[in-house]
Structure 1
C-alpha cells in the first residue's frame, strides 16, 4: 500500500516559505539517494523543475546527488528524476516527492510519497485538498510537524 507523509513546514518569513520547502525536497532527495532509493520529484511546472534542478547542483557542495530532468541524461535515468508532466517518471521508482499543487495521476505507483504543507494560508488550503485526494485514492496518510519534530538527515 502506498504511504504519504506530509511535512508541515515551520513558520518562516513570507518569501522563504517555498524556498525552504524546495531546500527540504533536495535534502530528502539526497537522503534517498544515499539510501539507494530511486526518486521522482514532481513539480508544478517547468520553471519549478528547472529551479529544483539548479538547487540540486548547488545546495550541498560536499555531496553530489545524481539527477536529471525527465527526458535528459542517461537512457537508464539518474537516481533522481525531475519532471512536471502528467505521465510521471520514465521508469519505476520507489519515492515520489510531490511539489505540485495537485496529486499526480501516477501517485499510486509509488511505495512512498513525500508532500509538504507550506506555512501560509494559501498553500495550506491547497495542501488540504491534496490530502483529501490522497485519502480518496486509498493512500495511507501521516504528518510530521517540522516545528516540533525536526528532521535529522545527516
Structure 2
C-alpha cells in the first residue's frame, strides 16, 4: 500500500509526516496482532522513530525495539536499518529505496511524501516493487 501524503498530514512534532504516520500504522498493526518491521535508511532515522514511539500516545504503549536489542525473541514492532531479525507480517518502509527483502513480507507499506525529491524516490520504489511482483495499491491521505 502506498500512502500519498498531503499538507494536512504534517505532524505537530519535529518529525517528517510519513515517519509520524508510519508510527500510527505500526500501532494499528500491533493492535491487530501483527508483527511489524519499520525499515529506515540509517541508525539516526531508526533512533528518531524509536524515540517517537516512546512518546507516541499517552493512553497506549506500542512494544518496540531496535534491531539487535533484547528481547531477542522480538518485540511486536522492530525498527532497523538492516534486515529484520524476526519473521514479521508487515514491512513499513521509510527507506529511500525499496528494501531488497520486501518480498519476504505479507504486506508492504510505503509512502509518497510531499517533497518533490522524495516523490521521485517513491516512484522508483513503486516501479521496483512492481518488478518484484508485489501487488500495489495507493490511497490519498486527507
TM-score range (shorter-chain normalised) is over 0.9
Q: What is the CA-CA distance between 1:18 and the residue it aligns to? A: 5.6
Would the aligned equivalents of 1:39 and 1:95 in 2 still touch at CA under 8 Å?
A: yes
Using CA pairs under 8 Å that are at least 6 residues apart, name the structure with larger relative contact order, 1 or 2. 1
Structure 2 CA distance for aligned equivalents of residues 7 and 110 of structure 1: 18
Corresponding residue to 1:104 among 87, 99, 102: 99
Question: Hey, what does 1:133 align to over in structure 2?
Answer: 128
TM-score (norm 1): 0.86
SS of the residue corresponding to residue 91 of structure 1 reads coil
Question: Hey, what does 2:34 align to over in structure 1?
Answer: 37
Cα RMSD, aligned residues only: 1.5
Would the aligned equivalents of 1:18 and 1:118 in 2 still touch at CA under 8 Å?
A: no
Would the aligned equivalents of 1:17 and 1:119 in 2 still touch at CA under 8 Å?
A: no
Structure 2 portions without partners, runs of 5+: none
Corresponding residue to 1:8 among 4, 19, 32: 4
SS of the residue corresponding to residue 63 of structure 1 reads coil
Would the aligned equivalents of 1:38 and 1:94 in 2 still touch at CA under 8 Å?
A: yes
Aligned length: 139
TM-score (norm 2): 0.93
Structure 2 CA distance for aligned equivalents of residues 8 and 117 of structure 1: 5
Is residue 78 of structure 2 the alignment partner of residue 75 of structure 1?
A: no
Structure 1 portions without partners, runs of 5+: 148-154
Structure 2 CA distance for aligned equivalents of residues 127 and 57 of structure 1: 27
Q: What is the CA-CA distance between 1:11 and the residue it aligns to? A: 2.1
Question: Hey, what does 1:142 align to over in structure 2?
Answer: 137
Would the aligned equivalents of 1:107 and 1:113 in 2 still touch at CA under 8 Å?
A: yes
In structure 2, relative to structure 1, the CA distance for the partners of 1:11 and 1:17 (3 Å cut) is: farther
